[in-house]
Structure 1
């Protein structure tokens, strides 16, 4: 039987780790809750398995524990935020809350943020707007990872897009990388010793890589590497590679260009001055009429999709259905955590002097 871990215990453990790094109690709790929320919704690639990455960024000085985001340019419906290299989750919540505030006052809010850090999943921030009764959007650029169509090395990021809109029985949430998979999923496969499926990672822009060699992952963020993630659509225009490439370009425009910060090929994980950029949008459908009627019609539309005839043994899902089911399952039965991630939490705790034995006792 698969071993599961109580989400409240894991949250407390992760919170203790960030507190040991010098974050105050409120910020440590917020960071831990956003990380565990991702695991609860079944997105293990960006959940607790990312703690080792944040720990590494803190050691490198890329994340500043005491920094705080601030507005550097503003209008009634827009703002530019400087994250000052604070923890990405804290910058993201600050920026999206600002967009929500503007949308509630003026119907629309858009925030471009620079000098931030990895903030988890884009959908989390879009969903904050949906929880506020608004339509939400968020995106972020990253270090160079995607090999553009016909190129021989990575230049754009995985550049995910998150969109959320209120509906019943749960919000519609669309959250995807513009590469075939996010880097975090490659990390999970390598941790589990699985070969990477075709058209996830490419070498020299053309040859798919079938490997579970950790050196493949190491090359993904190296600006000089010829190994990179494949755009949505694969490595050829014949299969639609230009579509994922183009979507990533849109993300770069809404993040690095509008924020007047770094674009993906200027970002380096080890350079504490090369922060990433993000965008946050909140929209009040009341701009178009009766908001309740719009959401009711949208919910009925989603039900029509779910009711479509499906291939034998399958069903038609709407974006957000699987995440809602995962949440119910993990609240009831606990989180899934791979053995290597478990060991990473123990090692980080030892180094930081965190008393982790109570968490191990609860796990066992």
Structure 2
């Protein structure tokens, strides 16, 4: 595959689903995981898309990821529920957790869902979009257990994960307003994408093993490992710390410290505490009108007409539209790693080449 090639999303989805079926996933599980990964690529977040497949295969082969497992209710108290993800595919456990939370929000107007011990739950905005599609606001605090990648403000080495924070606000007859980002300056997966492409990351994102600033993504992919920095210095660090506590400790999961350190970088365990709110609960009849008035006001003053002001989530909407029409871009290094992972789990060369021919057509 040449660098810069674009793949049709539906054909790529069929291939990814076949990869997980080959690994042993039941049909619904393979579909849920493929749905999520392809959606991440379509939204422009390749760091959380199909490039995760090699890591998932390694995690499964090492005994960390448990296929065909599901989230289990640990405690239920009215509008609140705590779930153990049972090291299942995060795309399965989080889907089940959000479905239960949405059901409770319909019943109570508000719900709180705590999920711990789940394998990697992927792009958090996807779960927020699941809530907004039901007409609900949602707030998500997420932590990564035992794989420190990010240095605290004034720190010299990694002490916690990328700890995403996410909020969504649904709008009538328009795309939802969506805030979704890692509390690190960039997501860890973006260093993987840059490493495969052989390009640097922006300044201010990384330090090497000696604590020296660098733009070389290899410091997060090759030993000895460096660290990501938080966004906005002390502000990002403070938000990351709160995500660690609210996402990890409050959910019934674990925080990152000496006793919880993982031995493999592919043993990605996430905790997520989610608050889901029915906006009708507050009796604000002008809420939608006020939201649209603010959106119009904000977008009305671009510094450069060629660079319009975008609302939160609008970049993903535009990218999704473009990639649905033109295909999903994938660099040669990432594609090779995915094919190698497919071979590792036993996909025949004939099947792999058949998919490659479909994707190339």
| Secondary structure of residue in 1 paired with 2:106 | helix
Whether 2:169 is the aligned partner of 1:165: answer yes
CA deviation digits over 1:86-109, x for unaligned, max 9?
001111111111211111111111
- Asked whether the equivalents of residues 267 and 274 of structure 1 are also in contact (C-alpha less than 8 Å), the reply is no
Q: After TM superposition, give the deviation of residue 253 of structure 1 in Å.
A: 1.8
- Is residue 280 of structure 2 the alignment partner of residue 286 of structure 1? yes
Supply the distance in 1 between the matched residues of 2:43 and 2:149 (Cα, whole angstroms): 25
C-alpha separation between the residues in 1 aligned to 2:24 and 2:169?
A: 36
Of 12, 20, 44, the residue aligned with 1:18 is 20
Q: What is the CA distance between 1:271 and its match in structure 2?
A: 8.7
Post-superposition shift, 1:276? 2.9
Please, which of 33, 40, 43 is the counterpart of residue 41 of structure 1?
43
Residue aligning to 2:247: 255
Shift of 1:357: 2.2
How far off its partner does 1:164 sit?
1.1
Kindly provide the CA deviation profile for residues 255-283 of structure 1, in whole angstroms up to 9, marking residues without a partner as x: 11112211134242629998431122210
Q: Is the 8 A contact 1:262 1:274 kept in 2?
A: no
Aligned to 1:222: none
Is 1:295 the counterpart of 2:294? The answer is: no
Residue 262 of structure 2: aligned partner = 268
Q: 1:351 to 1:111 in 2, by over 3 A?
A: same
1:200-251 deviations in Å (ceiling 9; x for gaps): 1113685212324x354245xxxxx772110112xxxxxxx11111000111
Task: Tell which deviates more after alignment, 51-60 or 304-313.
Answer: 304-313
CA distance in 2, matches of 1:69, 1:40: 27
SS of the residue 2:140 aligns to: strand
C-alpha separation in 2, matches of 1:351 and 1:184 = 22
Gaps of 5+ in 2: none
Q: Give CA deviations for 1:32-78 in whole Å, capped at 9, x if unaligned.
A: 01110111111111111111111111111111013211110111111
Secondary structure of 2:158's aligned partner: coil
Pairing 1:128-277 to 2, within 5 Å after superposition: 128-142=130-144, 143-167=147-171, 168-203=173-208, 206-212=211-217, 214-218=218-222, 227-233=226-232, 241-265=233-257, 266-268=260-262, 270=264, 275-277=269-271
Worse-matched range after superposition: 15-24 or 146-155: 146-155
What does residue 347 of structure 1 align with? Answer: 340
**Does the Cα contact within 8 Å between 1:152 and 1:226 map onto a contact in 2?**
no
Any idea what SS the aligned residue of 2:70 has?
coil
CA RMSD of aligned residues (A): 2.1
Name the TM-score, length of structure 1 as normaliser: 0.90
Q: Which structure dedicates a bigger proportion of its chain to strand?
A: 2
Displacement, 1:195?
2.1
Distance apart, 1:137 and its partner CA: 2.1
Aligned to 2:316: 323
Contact in 1 for aligned 2:176/2:313 (Cα 8 Å): yes
Contact 1:57–1:269 (CA under 8 A) maintained in structure 2: no
Check conservation: 2:157, 2:226, Cα contact below 8 A.
yes
Q: CA deviation at 1:124?
A: 0.8
| TM-score of the pair, normalised by structure 2 | 0.91
Task: Mark the runs of 5 or more structure 1 residues left unpaired by the alignment.
Answer: 220-224, 234-240
Equivalent residue, structure 2, for 1:92: 94
For residues 12 and 131 of structure 2, what CA distance do their matches in structure 1 show?
A: 26
The alpha-carbon distance between structure 1 residues 335 and 131, as it changes in their structure 2 partners (threshold 3 A), is same
Q: CA deviation at 1:2?
A: 4.1
Residue 174 of structure 2 aligns to a residue whose secondary structure is coil
Measure, in 1, the Cα distance between the counterparts of 2:213 and 2:245. Answer: 28
- Return the alpha-carbon distance in structure 1 between the equivalents of residues 275 and 210 of structure 2: 33
SS state of the match for residue 137, structure 1?
Answer: strand
